[in-house]
Amino acid sequence: MQAFSDTTLWTVIICLGLGSWGLRFSFLAFLGNRDLPDWVLRHLRYTAVAILPGLVMPLVIWPDATGGAPDPARIMAACATVIVGYTTKNLIAGFGAGLIVLYSMLNLLG
């Protein structure tokens, strides 16, 4: 039931491992006092908020578990996570709120 081959998986693990280590070692490797230019830093600050919402949106709106049909329980759970996470600035609180709404709604809506 795995959606990808073992070769693909190991290729991803090894390349991603080397690549991540390379990124982490990059500036430490050359005794560097050199700073990244401002405009690069300005873009890098937004990597996480630029990727994660885009990654999540299709999963929220067309979930695999329902065969791609939009599911009110999952959409409400996603909204709860964002609202609570944003207002409390707390990752665990947001995640917890999402799970609570998800299970309540899955039960209520059957």
In contact, 82 and 94? CB cutoff 8 Å: yes
For residue 108, what is the DSSP state? H
| 69 interacts with another protein by CB under 8 A | no
| 17 contacts: CB under 8 Å, gap ≥ 6 | none
Query: Letter for the amino acid at 40?
Result: V
Q: Considering the complex, what minimum distance in angstroms separates the CB of residue 103 from another protein?
A: 8
| 109 interacts with another protein by CB under 8 A | no
Q: Considering the complex, what minimum distance in angstroms separates the CB of residue 40 from another protein?
A: 8
Site string for another protein, 4-33 (x = CB under 8 A): x-x-xxxxxxxxxx-xxx-xxxxxxxxxxx
